[in-house]
A and B are shown apart, each in its own frame.
Chain A
Amino acid sequence: MNRIIKFIILDILKNRIVFFYTCILAVLSWSVFSLEDNSSKGLLTLLNVILLTVPLISVVFSTIYIYNSSEFIELLVSQPIKRGKIWWSLFLGLMLSLLLAFFIGAGIPILIYAPSDVGIMMILVGSFITAVFVAIAFLSSILTRDKAKGIGICILLWLFFALLFDGMILFLLFQFSDYPIEKLMVGITALNPIDLGRILILLHLDVSAMMGYTGAIFKDFFGNQIGIIVSLSILFLWVAVPFGLSLKRFKRMDL
């Protein structure tokens, strides 16, 4: 398996898009931290940038890469290799190279400017978000053979998780503002990996003090260690379930 992963990673690292992605992340992170003298404020700005760009690039790049590897997959399938191994290698190769790009682009500046718990949590969340959206890309690209459709599905999913979901939550909050739905809200955030990541970091920053009653409920849940472990496990499920579904389907697929 390692040999195939090695080849895939080398192939991806030669790709200009990943190089630009790393550069853009690096430029953003360095400039955000140099503009703000308070590293905590810098992290907050960077958080929003990362939660918007990282999922988008991860999901779109992975989907396109999987479609472009279709013939490569065919070549490997005709070799004496287990099918599951091919899909796993492709997944690990894509995930590891995007994680590397994220770490070089955003991780290193964060470690330099904000080497605190929050900084490390931010790198962890960014890595999880990368993995989640690579897994989602695997699911959306196996759902249809049509490349344009597959890319459409993955962009829609990104749009949903990055923007629409928050809109729906706001709508719910206003509609049911007379009822005590705060606890329910904690459950609903588990349905969106981006929100989960955002909350995990926000609650470690001082700004969480200004989030009112809902914020307090969230802090009560996510602020302690069990909450962090639970939410990281949920993020892990967000990687495992979409990829697992795609793997199951790939094993039975006609190529």
Chain B
Amino acid sequence: MIEISNLSKNFGKLKVLNKINLSCLKGECIALIGPNGCGKTTLIKSVLGMVIPSEGMIEVQGINIANHFEYRNKIGYMPQIGRYPDNMSIGQILEMVKEIRRGQSSLDESLVEEFKLNDLFNKRMRTLSGGTTQKVSATLAFLFNPDILILDEPTAGLDPLSSEILKEKITDVKKEGKLVLITSHLLSELDDLVTQIIFMQDGVVHFHKSVQDLISSTGESKISKAIAKILKTQAVEQNN
């Protein structure tokens, strides 16, 4: 579904992404993890066409995304920090995006109900808490039944209940055979969701493995511990 080859991005002299090659298939739930500033968000934004790559190519469903925009019909994106026009209410934002993407496949408004956004429809965006804003972002991402979901730190700022609702939603769409790409540095949050892990550091993909592989090769039961173990062995190897 998403095919990334030789992707590099420089911000001035800083090399944020360095020759990234990735291939993400449908039906997977992939966690993109790594320390702060390792290029996760830049990678995601490149796929969305928000960041223009310095080198390399990205294909979404077989189409090179350079100078294209139609492919974004198939993507639902939830940004890390969603900020919206201050004067608009939640209802207006949802209406606006619906109107802009009019005539698309059936709408999925289940999250509106589950997050109880109906009661807040008249609230202005500027009066919302960070968590409620995140709920709006999540609702927008899932609204159009996209084939690919890209979620940047989806559970950050959400209360435990809402976070659980969102996770259930992610599990649901995964079952429908869609591709879900999640970034997070809270590894424990992802344990029961993800099927594959991409670990990035300093703009390079360290490994891209399925969770089963990862756990069986390290002998740990939790993803977070498995990754910690890999990192420790690498550090030891480097020191030697």
**Does B142 count as interface, using CB distance less than 8 angstroms?**
no
The minimal Cβ–Cβ distance linking A191 to chain B, given in whole angstroms, is 33
Q: Give complex CA distance A17, B92 in Å.
A: 21
Q: Give complex CA distance A254, B48 in Å.
A: 11
> Are A80 and B70 in contact (CB-based, < 8 A)?
yes
> Are B100 and A79 in contact (CB-based, < 8 A)?
yes
Is chain B's interface secondary structure helix, strand, loop, or mixed overall? loop
**Does A3 count as interface, using CB distance less than 8 angstroms?**
yes
**Does B49 count as interface, using CB distance less than 8 angstroms?**
yes
**Does A198 count as interface, using CB distance less than 8 angstroms?**
no
The minimal Cβ–Cβ distance linking B41 to chain A, given in whole angstroms, is 11
> Are B100 and A255 in contact (CB-based, < 8 A)?
no
The minimal Cβ–Cβ distance linking B133 to chain A, given in whole angstroms, is 10
Q: How many residues of A contact B (CB 8 A)?
A: 24
**Does A248 count as interface, using CB distance less than 8 angstroms?**
no
The minimal Cβ–Cβ distance linking B58 to chain A, given in whole angstroms, is 14
The minimal Cβ–Cβ distance linking A103 to chain B, given in whole angstroms, is 22
Which of A15, A80, A252 lies in contact with B72, CB distance below 8 A? A80
When C-beta atoms are compared, the residue in chain A nearest to B72 turns out to be: A80
Q: Give complex CA distance A79, B69 in Å.
A: 8
> Are A77 and B85 in contact (CB-based, < 8 A)?
no
**Does A177 count as interface, using CB distance less than 8 angstroms?**
no
When C-beta atoms are compared, the residue in chain B nearest to A13 turns out to be: B87
> Are A71 and B84 in contact (CB-based, < 8 A)?
yes
> Are A77 and B48 in contact (CB-based, < 8 A)?
yes
Contacts A14-B87, A74-B79, A75-B82; A80 near B50 (Cβ below 8 A): no
Contacts A3-B100, A11-B85, A74-B79; A79 near B50 (Cβ below 8 A): no
Which residues on B sit within 8 Å (CB–CB) of A174? Answer: none
The minimal Cβ–Cβ distance linking A248 to chain B, given in whole angstroms, is 13
**Does B83 count as interface, using CB distance less than 8 angstroms?**
yes
Which residues on A sit within 8 Å (CB–CB) of B165? Answer: none
**Which of A3, A15, A78 has the most chain B CB atoms closer than 10 A to its own CB?**
A78
> Are A255 and B45 in contact (CB-based, < 8 A)?
yes
Q: Give complex CA distance A69, B85 in Å.
A: 7
Contacts A254-B51, A254-B52, A255-B51; A81 near B100 (Cβ below 8 A): yes
Contacts A71-B82, A78-B77, A254-B11; A11 near B48 (Cβ below 8 A): no
> Are B79 and A78 in contact (CB-based, < 8 A)?
yes
> Are B97 and A79 in contact (CB-based, < 8 A)?
yes
> Which residues of A approach B to under 8 Å, CB–CB?
3-4, 7, 11, 14-15, 68-69, 71-72, 74-83, 252-255
3 tightest CB-CB pairs across the interface, nearest first?
A71-B83, A80-B72, A78-B77
21 contacts between A and B (CB under 8 A): A11-B87, A15-B87, A71-B81, A71-B84, A72-B84, A72-B85, A75-B82, A75-B97, A75-B140, A76-B100, A77-B48, A77-B50, A78-B79, A79-B101, A80-B71, A80-B101, A81-B72, A253-B52, A254-B50, A255-B50, A255-B51
